[in-house]
Amino acid sequence: TLIKAVSLLAAGKAKARPQDHRRATYAPSIRREEEGIDWSREGERVANHINGLSPDPGACTFFQGRRLKMLRALPAEGSGPAGEILAVGPGGLVIAAGRGAVRVLEVRPEGKNTMSAGDFVRGYRPAPGMTFKIF
C-alpha cells in the first residue's frame, strides 16, 4: 500500500480527500513513566517500545545506577532473568526479556551523546550477568 501511495504521489495522480473528523482520535503526550523499559515483557514488545520512543523522548532503563536511553533495538533469541545481559560484542548487547531477548543497537547514556551499542560496550564495559533495571 505504501509503495502504491508513493508511486501515485510521484506521478501526481494521488487524490486528496479531507479527513473524517468523526473518526479521528487524539493521542495524548507520552508521560515520563511510559518511557521506562519493562524487561519482563516479551522481547519483541520491548524492541518495539524502544524503537517507538526513539529518538525522543527515548525508552529508559538504569545501568550501574545511571539513566540510559535505548534508541534502537531488534528482537533476539535468548533467555535468562529479565534485564540480564546475555551477550556483549561490537554489534551490541543482547538483553533477556520476559520471553526471548532484545539486541540493543544504539543508546544514549545520561549526559552523553547518542552512540552505537558497540561503542557503549567498549566504553562502559557491560558484561554478561550484569543487569538493567526497570525505570
Place of cell 558484561: 127
Largest Cα span, the chain:
56
For residues 1-25, give the mean pLDDT: 89
The reported pLDDT for the residue numbered 42 is 96
Which cell numbers hold the place of 49? 517500545
**Residue 130 to residue 69: CA distance in whole angstroms:** 17
Average pLDDT, the chain: 93
Per-position DSSP letters for the chain, written without gaps between them: -HHHHHHHHHHT-PPP----TTT----PPPPGGGGB--TTSBHHHHHHHHHHTTTTT-EEEEETTEEEEEEEEEEE---SSTTBEEEEETTEEEEE-SBSEEEEEEEEETTS--EEHHHHHHHH---TT-BPEE-
**Residue 115 to residue 66: CA distance in whole angstroms:** 16
pTM: 0.79
| Digit-coded pLDDT (tens) for 28-84 | 888 888 899 999 999 999 999 999 999 999 999 999 999 999 999 999 999 999 999
**Residue 36 to residue 55: CA distance in whole angstroms:** 14
The reported pLDDT for the residue numbered 33 is 84
| Digit-coded pLDDT (tens) for 79-134 | 999 999 999 998 889 999 999 999 999 999 999 999 999 999 999 999 999 999 87
If one counts every other C-beta atom within 10 angstroms of the C-beta of residue 11, the result is: 8
Contact yes or no for 114/108 (Cβ under 8 A): yes
